[in-house]
């Protein structure tokens, strides 16, 4: 049942992305200097725009590369900022030479955690590795 729900959510997300990018809200731009994963999808290093697809649903986000060829739509989990959080940024978990998007912040108080994909869960559980966490600022 969970698999079907995920597939349906993904299909709806892509359909929304295709129909709403014209009206979507660009939140920030950033350059990511390494290949990385969002959930179970690998994206190449490059310039990306963080996009909010639906104005009434701040957790439905997309990352779009500068060419528009790579787009990933995902449902974040609303996250509240601590007192030391500032500005737009992407937060990554790093395990040796592998990078996973962990959080998206579009301003000091508006953040979303990105659900972990299969490979990151495997690293956490199977290899018992703890990630190094760091942020790349948005512009």
* Predicted local confidence at residue 19, as pLDDT: 44
Residue 121 CB contacts under 8 Å (≥ 6 apart), including other chains = none
d(CA 47, CA 24): 18
d(CA 24, CA 130): 35
**What does the pLDDT profile of the chain (139 residues) look like in tens digits?**
566 555 545 555 554 444 444 556 777 899 999 999 999 999 999 999 988 888 777 788 899 999 988 889 999 898 876 655 667 889 999 998 999 999 998 766 678 899 999 999 988 887 677 889 999 988 8
Longest dimension (CA), the chain: 43
Q: How does DSSP assign 76-93, residue by residue?
A: -EEE---TT--SSEEEEE
* Predicted local confidence at residue 51, as pLDDT: 87
* Predicted local confidence at residue 20, as pLDDT: 46
């Amino acid at each position: 049942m969970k698999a079907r729900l995920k597939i349906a959510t993904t299909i709806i997300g892509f359909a929304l992305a295709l129909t709403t990018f014209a009206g979507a809200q660009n939140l920030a731009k950033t350059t990511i200097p390494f290949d990385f994963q969002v959930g179970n999808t690998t994206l190449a290093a490059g310039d990306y725009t963080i996009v909010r697809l639906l104005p009434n649903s701040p957790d439905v986000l997309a990352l779009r590369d500068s060419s528009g060829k790579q787009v990933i739509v995902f449902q974040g989990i609303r996250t509240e900022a601590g007192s030391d959080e500032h500005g737009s940024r992407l937060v990554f978990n790093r395990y040796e030479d592998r990078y996973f998007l962990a959080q998206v912040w579009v301003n000091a108080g508006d953040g979303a955690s990105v659900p972990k994909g299969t490979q990151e869960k495997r690293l956490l559980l199977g290899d018992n590795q703890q990630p190094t966490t760091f942020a790349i600022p948005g512009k």
